[in-house]
Amino acid sequence: MDEIPADLYDAAPVERARRSTELIAEVAAERDNVMRIRRHALAELVASGMTQTEIAQQTELSRARIGQILDD
């Protein structure tokens, strides 16, 4: 989703609520996909021989967070 449709702000309350719920579901699906991409990228870096500390220094993630992501 690139942006919130302009007409959403002017829609009736029930329509705004319904469409907002649909948009939230879309954003959640996109978030899941992006998180999966990140997890695979981190796993590739570890498989290539990088340590979690080295990855952390280059990705602005903490080493602890990288460990959490890879453990999921």
Q: Which residue has the higher pLDDT, 2 or 13?
A: 13
Residue 1 pLDDT exceeds 70: no
Model confidence, pTM:
0.77
Express the helix, strand and coil content of the chain in percent, nearest 5 each: 80, 0, 20
DSSP 4-72: --GGGGGS-HHHHHHHHHHHHHHHHHHHHHHHHHHHHHHHHHHHTT--HHHHHHHHT--HHHHHHHHH-
Give residue limits of the domains in the chain.
6-71
* Identity of the amino acid at 48: S
Q: What is the pLDDT of residues 12-71, one digit of tens each?
A: 999 999 999 999 999 999 999 999 999 999 999 999 999 999 999 999 999 999 999 999
